[in-house]
Structures are given as structure tokens and as C-alpha cells.
Chain A
Amino acid sequence: MATQHSRSAARLMMAPAVVLLLGWMLVPLTMTLYFSFKKYLPLRGGDLGWAGLDNYVRFVTSSAFWPSVQATLLIVGGVLAITVVFGVLLAMLLDQPMWGQGIVRILVIAPFFVMPTVSALVWKNMFMDPVNGLFAHLWQFFGAQPVEWLSNASLTSIIMIVSWQWLPFATLILLTAIQSLDSEQLEAAEMDGAPALSRFRFIILPHLGRAITIVVLIQTIFLLSIFAEIFVTTQGSFGTRTLTYLIFQRVLESQNVGLGSAGGVYAIILANIVAIFLMRIVGKNLDA
């Protein structure tokens, strides 16, 4: 039973974690907010006074803004669609009885542990290179002209690379969910003569609903801020400049901290809208 004594001990034990996270959240956030109202160019004069809402207006009206939002949404949407669809199929396949299931599972989840910088570089050079890449050899073998992946199909390339990294995550979560499905229900449906497609639609898919939501939400959080993959492949050129990358360029490359901070505030708002949905779901689970 929790006594007064144990309650104050508990508070004391929680304090370091709470204080640190509060500081981690409030200090940089306040600074970002402060900078976003400033004309602040560290290499060209430093703090040049207040700018009011100028940075916010300039960031949204700059020609790079909407393309970057579009690129972000295309990447997030594309990766989500691919990983969820193939994740469900793959999870269903891996759930079947087979020989060497453990080894296959290890093969499938491996990409998730590969550093983003490594996977981007390996894909860029050894697969997507128009001269020496494996895809180029493959295309030539079939008599086709090799594709200049990262310049001519840049968004598709990024989506491919990122999907490869996240498919294991989706598969793993969905497989765990599928394994908790009551097989008797499926058998009964099969006995009653329900065709495979309707068994999938009316039993398996609804059962996976929660797992799919979680995959979508967690991946969205991570994908909204995808950075390393773009950093080592296209550096934001050829239409792959996401919102995150645009802010990064404003702040660190062109050293316009005020403008970049305003962009940062937009990114924070965007991420929080997504986060609210995630919180709701996780919060609900906490009660269960």
C-alpha cells in the first residue's frame, strides 16, 4: 500500500528524469521561439534585432516551402503505403508453417538494424549507380537503358531506400499481432466455406487494425524527420528537400537562424499534431 512516506520517496526517485526532460524540452524550445522572431545571421552581423513575424511569413512564402512540404508528404505517404501493404503480406507469409522460420525472420528484420547512413550509401552506390550499380547491370541485361536513379527518379529512390529500412519494423509488429489471432475463428470460417479473400477482409484485417495504426503513427513520427538518408544521397537536390532538410539548410548551411527557427516552429507544430493522435492511442492502451 502506498503510504505518505513511500509517495514522497517516489517523487524523489522521479525527480531527476522529470527535471532533465523538462529542461531538454523547455530550454531549446524557448530559444528556438526567441530566435524565430529575430533577424539573426551569425556569420553576417549576428543579432540584427527583432523581426516580428517576418521569418514566419518569409519561410512560408519562399519558393522552397511548398515543394518541401510536398516532398515530405510524398516520402512519408509512399513509405507508409509500401511498408504497410508489404508488411501485412509478409507477416501473413511468415506466420505460415515452414522450414527455417527463425532464419527467414532474421533475414527479413536485418535491414532495421543497418545504420541509415550505411544503407543510404550502399543503395546509392552499389545498387542505384547508373554505371556500376547492380540495377544498371540488371537493366542492361534486359536490354534497357540504365536509370539515373538519384537524379531522375530521386523521390522514388529515397522512398525505396527508406521503405527497405522500415519494412522489417512493420513486418515484425504485424507478425506479432497476427500470431495473437485466434486460429479457431479462422478455421471455423474456412469450414463454413468462406473464401480466402473474405477471410482476410473480415477476420485478419480488422484484427490487425490496431497494429497497423501503431505502425503508421510510429513510422510517421520518425519519417517526418528523416535526415541521414537525404544527407548522404542527394543533399536535398532533385526535389528531395524535405521540410526537415530545408530547415537544416537554412540554419546550418546558410546560417539564417531566425528564418530556420521559424521553420523549426512549423515542424514542431506539425509533429505535435501527429503526436496527439499517437498519444491518444498509447494512452488508451495504458488503461487496458
Chain B
Amino acid sequence: MARAVTTNRKIVNTAAAWAVGLLIFFPILWTILTSFKTEATAIADPPVFLFFDWTLENYAVVQERSNYARFLWNSVIIAGGSTILGLIIAIPAAWSMAFVPSRRTKDILLWMLSTKMLPAVGVLYPIYLLFIKMGLLDTRLGLVIVMMLINLPIIVWMLYTYFREIPGEILEAARMDGASLKEEIIHILTPMAVPGIASTLLLNFILAWNEAFWTLNLTAAKAAPLTAFIASYSSPEGLFYAKLSAASVMAIAPILIMGWFSQKQLVRGLTFGAVK
């Protein structure tokens, strides 16, 4: 029998949870609100919460001054490109590990994950040097390659965990019924693999979008994505709260929305299904 919950207790739970939730969300909320204020209202003392003249001016100024669209485009290309490239390389690998496992499969998987533990700062200079030699410094292609490599272990692992859950019996049953290999792939395997591939894509896009170490160190002007665009607001002379807020909202909004849609996958993806 389900536990009977009194209405009183539910009210207390609701109030407590909403209070904590709003407290944690507050910095984001405050940033959103500030982005619609004028600079004078943004630093008003005492602070103004909801009752001010809302303006869209900051967003226009941010775009005008720093060509937000180009940074956004760089972010999309780098995060999207590295994710797709990673998937192209990882899908066959994870597929074969899940369906044709050998004695060494587990060792290979663990080794792949161990490359993720390589501290970036320890290998920054070699990569920097190689990038200069190969003309990849401050190019989107260079960052696509780096992002793909740092996220590849996660992509392989996530896909492996998803693929392993596809039951082999269904395949065998289909074969018994006389399904050809083509029918098998189109009608049985693909529909079962697509959700896993989609959530892997989503999580990796988020990780690549927010990654800052490599983007800050390997880009300057041409290929800089939103992480670097925001970092340029850290200089004290260029500091305007309303504009900083507008820029921040423009940088995090796309990914925040994607993140909310993929929260369940996030748990699995980041713990490789170790927590259920």
C-alpha cells in the first residue's frame, strides 16, 4: 500500500521545496531580470525586483557591439560538429562492443574512460604547439577535433550502455520470422537505438557547449565560442550589469532549455548507468 500522506505534510513539503528551489534558481532569475533593466536600475540601491521599466535595449547593444551571432555560430559549429563527428566514430565502436563482446572489451572501455581523466592543463602546451604547427590554432576545425576527443570516451560509454539494453532475443525472433538484414536494421535495430543516440547527442552537445578550458586557450578572435565571448566581459572597464546579464542570458538560454529536456539522460550519461 502506498504511504498515506496528510495534506498538511504535503503543504509543508511543497513550501520547503519551492523555497529551496527558488533560492538555488535565484542567481539565474536575477540575471534574467537584470538583463531587462537599464544600467541605472541594475545597480539601484535598494535593488529593484519586478517593478521597473522593462527594456530590450541591452540585447540589442550586446549584439551590436560584439557580434553575438558570430560567437553563437562558433558555439553551434564546435559543439554540434564535435558531437556529430564523435557519434560517427563512436557508434560503430560501441555497437561492436555491445554486440560482439570479447574478453578485452571491458579493458578497452575502462582504458577509454581513463583518457578522460587526463588533466587538460598537463597536455595544454603540446596541443598548443601542435595546433600552431598544423595551422589549427583559433580555428573551428581545431576545436571540433579537441572537443570530439575529450568527449569521445563519454560518447562511447553512453552508447555502449544503451546498446547493451537492446535485447538480443528480439533480433533472433525477427530472424526466425525471416527478416532480411536490411529489414532487421531498419525496422528493429534503428527504432531501439535512436533514443539512446539522441540522448547521447544531447548530453554531449551540452558538455561541449559549456567547456571553457580549451576554448579559452585555443581561440583568440576568429573561432571563439560563447564561453570566450562571456569571458571578455570580465574586464572591469567593460562592466555593465545589464549588458553582462543580457549577454549571459543569450549564452545560457539555448543550453538551459536543452538541459531541462535531457535531465534523465544526464544521470545515466554521467554515471554510465551506475546509479538507477
Please list the residues of chain A having a beta carbon within 8 angstroms of any beta carbon in chain B: 2, 6-7, 9-11, 13-14, 16-18, 20-21, 24-25, 27-29, 31-32, 35, 90, 93-94, 96-101, 103-119, 121-127, 132, 134, 137, 141, 164, 167-169, 172-173, 176-177, 180, 183, 187, 210-211, 214, 218, 221, 224-225, 227-228, 231-233, 244, 247-248, 251-252, 257, 260-261, 263-265, 267-268, 270-272, 274-275, 278-279, 281-283, 285-286
Contact with A along B1-23 (1 / 0, CB 8 A): 00101000110011011101110
Residue pair B118, A98 in contact (C-beta under 8 Å): no
Residue pair B231, A251 in contact (C-beta under 8 Å): no
CA–CA, A171 and B262, complex, Å: 15
CA–CA, A274 and B116, complex, Å: 12
Nearest residue (CB) in A for B24 is A108
By secondary structure, the B interface counts as: helix
Residue pair A105, B263 in contact (C-beta under 8 Å): yes
By secondary structure, the A interface counts as: helix
Residue of A21, A114, A257 near B28 (CB, 8 A) is: A114
Residue pair B110, A283 in contact (C-beta under 8 Å): yes
Residue of B10, B46, B149, B231 near A232 (CB, 8 A) is: B231
CA–CA, A107 and B25, complex, Å: 5
Residues of chain B within 8 A of A268, CB atoms compared: 118-119, 122
Residue pair B226, A176 in contact (C-beta under 8 Å): no
Nearest residue (CB) in B for A281 is B274
Residues of chain A within 8 A of B273, CB atoms compared: 285
Q: Which of B86-127 contact A (CB under 8 A)?
A: 89-90, 92-93, 95-97, 99-102, 106, 108-110, 112-127
Also in contact, A132 and B43, with CB within 8 A (given A32-B123, A113-B206, A117-B230): yes
Residue pair B125, A35 in contact (C-beta under 8 Å): yes
A-B contact pairs, 15 of them (CB 8 A): A13-B96, A17-B112, A20-B149, A27-B130, A94-B17, A98-B10, A99-B14, A112-B259, A121-B230, A164-B24, A264-B121, A264-B125, A267-B122, A271-B119, A282-B272
CA–CA, A6 and B210, complex, Å: 39
Residues of chain B within 8 A of A132, CB atoms compared: 43, 45, 241
CA–CA, A126 and B44, complex, Å: 12
CA–CA, A40 and B227, complex, Å: 31
Q: Which of B53-61, B176-184, B193-201, B243-251 contacts A (4 or more CB under 8 A)?
A: B243-251
Also in contact, A227 and B213, with CB within 8 A (given A105-B263, A109-B259, A112-B259): yes
Cβ of B167 within 8 Å of any chain A Cβ, yes or no, is no
Residue pair B95, A282 in contact (C-beta under 8 Å): no
Also in contact, A126 and B93, with CB within 8 A (given A35-B125, A177-B275): no
